[in-house]
């Protein structure tokens, strides 16, 4: 197996531990803490997340890019790592002090807001960017295994009712802190941490971080601030409906977003070696395979939304059904946006092209939230986010019009999978409607029918990605038989 494929699998496994295990606790936590408890946790967590994003500037993407450039030179690697780590530490200590003051004002003595500050401590010890830049994803994944499993089990063991919200907050926070601390084990084998304020290239690093901070801050406005605004302009229960629905939708997106983490250092290396032909080939393949996976997932989610929400979250979260349905297309927009941003704009250091769409989207999202949330609550925030993501993708495509033949890619790849996915959803919905089934039975039946219809049509038209997948499966079976 190639290193790139291994990295994809490792990061996919990491996403399972970071998001998959917490996702599996959602049905239990939703019923135990209820919409109000979930909303209060989400509101306080959104505030601490704002602080992390603001004070870390654009250091995460910048750090991955800079580490990828010097990963072959251990002395330079140690120097760059030490400088970036020191800058992040200073910024986060400052953030921690200001957050405690803010939390006391906003939280009005509620200890949930104070305990959320542990996430700032966790961010301080986060050095995943080092290993991502070095394309050493195994280290990042393995550190999550034990810590996340302990956190997963602790939720079921100790969180019993709505009075355990503080305990739930502590479990979530300590999972992050301990997981990040585990990365420091045997760190000297990779780099040597050299703390020296006098020799640090502060101006150079901060300048580039601030350039990348603008899009990072803008992303935060419409991915985190929407929850803060919903908690402030509406009720914590409405935020609870929005929070749990968005987790369902973004869980699907997170499986696709692993490509950005893996391809950023790889494409940075291609650009450094001026291998642009291979870079553009990778971009076109990425768009095709993303459409192949994301379109059926999106339409599949729309047709199972009602049954899934009622079965997964419980009847108390029935308002989340509409949120999931409206939010589902965001998976398509964000998945393509990852390819354009993390695969091309960031490694090519096209800061304007990466920044401008997100800044425009952030402004539009902020305005739409102010207009829509007071009247439409969770639905208003959802519509604002959907419109924002569509506009951002549209602007990114405009910037790429001279680099990629977007019309050809749309006709050759996206349109084909879009039509098949719509047909798949229509057939699946009509058949389950005819048999008058609901709940888990309906979900399973729609899934089986959807896979058969989508896969069957692709096989009939001899779709290239499908034939390649079948060929690989056949090779694996042959190899297993030869081993036996």
pLDDT reported for residue 382: 93
Residue that wins the pLDDT comparison between 345 and 7: 345
User: pTM of the full predicted structure?
Assistant: 0.71
Average pLDDT, the chain: 80
Contact 380, 369 (CB under 8 A): yes
Q: Which two tokens stand for residue 297?
A: 């997932």
| CB count in 10 Å sphere of residue 31 | 13
What letter does residue 126 receive in the DSSP assignment?
-
User: Number of C-alpha atoms within 13 angstroms, CB side, residue 306?
Assistant: 7
The per-residue pLDDT for range 20-55, each reduced to its tens digit, is 566 677 888 888 888 888 888 888 888 888 888 888
pLDDT at 62 over 60: yes
Tell me how many degrees the CA angle 84-87-92 measures, rounded to the nearest 5.
120
Report, as an integer, the average pLDDT of 423-428.
Answer: 94
Note the pLDDT tens digit of each residue in 204-217.
Answer: 777 777 776 766 66
| Res. 191: pLDDT tops 50 | yes
Q: Look at residue 34 in the predicted model and tell me its pLDDT.
A: 86
For residue 314, the model assigns a pLDDT of 86
Quick one: pLDDT at residue 94?
A: 92
C-alpha–C-alpha distance, residues 225 and 388, integer Å = 13
pLDDT more than 70, % of the chain = 78
**Measured on CA atoms in the order 39, 42, 47, 50, is the torsion positive or negative?**
negative
Average pLDDT over every residue of 169-184: 85
The pLDDT tens digits of the residues spanning 134-164 come to 766 566 666 666 677 777 788 888 888 888 8
The DSSP secondary-structure symbol of 401 reads T
Taking 50 as the threshold, does the pLDDT of residue 260 lie above it?
A: no
- Which helix (H) or strand (E) covers residue 341, if one does? none
Per-residue DSSP letters for 176-223? HHHHHHGGGTTGGGT------TTT--HHHHHHHHHHHHHHHHHHHHHH
Tell me what pLDDT residue 175 has: 84
Quote the pLDDT of residue 23.
65
C-alpha span between 114 and 173 (Å, rounded): 11
97-104: average pLDDT: 88
259, pLDDT greater than 50: no
Which tokens belong to 459?
């096989």
Q: What is the pLDDT of residue 13?
A: 57
């Amino acid at each position: 197996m190639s290193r790139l494929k291994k990295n994809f699998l490792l990061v996919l496994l990491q996403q399972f531990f970071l998001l998959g295990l917490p996702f599996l606790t959602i049905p239990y936590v939703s019923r135990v803490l209820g919409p109000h408890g979930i909303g209060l946790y989400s509101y306080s967590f959104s505030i601490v997340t704002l602080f992390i994003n603001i004070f870390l500037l654009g250091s995460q993407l910048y750090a991955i890019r800079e580490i990828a450039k010097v990963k072959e030179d251990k002395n330079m690697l140690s120097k760059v790592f030490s400088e970036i780590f020191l800058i992040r530490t200073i910024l986060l200590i400052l953030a921690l002090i200001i957050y405690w003051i803010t939390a006391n004002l906003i939280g009005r003595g509620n200890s949930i807001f104070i305990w959320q500050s542990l996430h700032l401590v966790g961010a301080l010890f986060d050095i995943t960017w080092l290993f991502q830049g070095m394309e050493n994803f195994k280290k990042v994944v393995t550190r999550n295994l034990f810590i996340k499993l302990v956190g997963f089990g602790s939720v079921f063991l100790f969180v019993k009712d709505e009075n355990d919200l503080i305990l739930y907050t502590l479990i979530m926070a300590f999972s992050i802190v301990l997981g990040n601390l585990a990365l420091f084990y045997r760190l000297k084998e990779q780099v040597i941490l050299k703390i020296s304020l006098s020799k640090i290239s502060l101006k150079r690093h901060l300048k580039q971080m601030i350039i990348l901070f603008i899009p990072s801050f803008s992303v935060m406005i419409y991915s985190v601030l929407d929850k803060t605004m919903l908690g402030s302009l509406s009720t914590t229960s409405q935020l609870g409906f929005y929070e749990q629905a968005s987790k369902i939708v973004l869980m699907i997106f997170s499986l696709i977003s692993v490509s950005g983490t893996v391809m950023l250092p790889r494409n940075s290396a291609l650009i450094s070696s001026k291998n642009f032909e291979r870079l553009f080939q990778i971009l076109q393949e990425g768009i095709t395979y993303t459409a192949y996976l994301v379109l059926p997932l999106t339409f599949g989610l729309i047709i199972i939304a009602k049954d899934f929400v009622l079965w997964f979250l419980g009847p108390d979260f029935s308002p989340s059904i509409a949120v999931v349905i409206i939010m589902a297309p965001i998976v398509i927009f964000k998945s393509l946006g990852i390819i354009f941003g993390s695969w091309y704009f960031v490694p090519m250091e096209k800061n304007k092209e990466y920044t401008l769409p997100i800044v425009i989207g952030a402004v539009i999202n902020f305005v739409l939230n102010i207009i829509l949330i007071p009247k439409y609550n969770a639905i208003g925030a959802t519509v604002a986010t959907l419109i924002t993501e569509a506009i951002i993708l549209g602007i990114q495509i405009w910037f790429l019009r001279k680099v990629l033949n977007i019309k050809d890619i749309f006709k050759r790849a996206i349109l084909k999978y879009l039509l098949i996915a719509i047909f798949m959803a229509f057939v699946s919905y009509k058949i389950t409607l005819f048999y008058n089934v609901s709940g888990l039975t309906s979900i399973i039946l729609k899934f089986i029918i959807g896979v058969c219809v989508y896969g069957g049509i692709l096989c009939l038209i001899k779709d290239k990605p499908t034939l390649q997948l079948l060929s690989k499966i056949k090779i694996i079976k042959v190899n297993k038989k030869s081993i036996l």
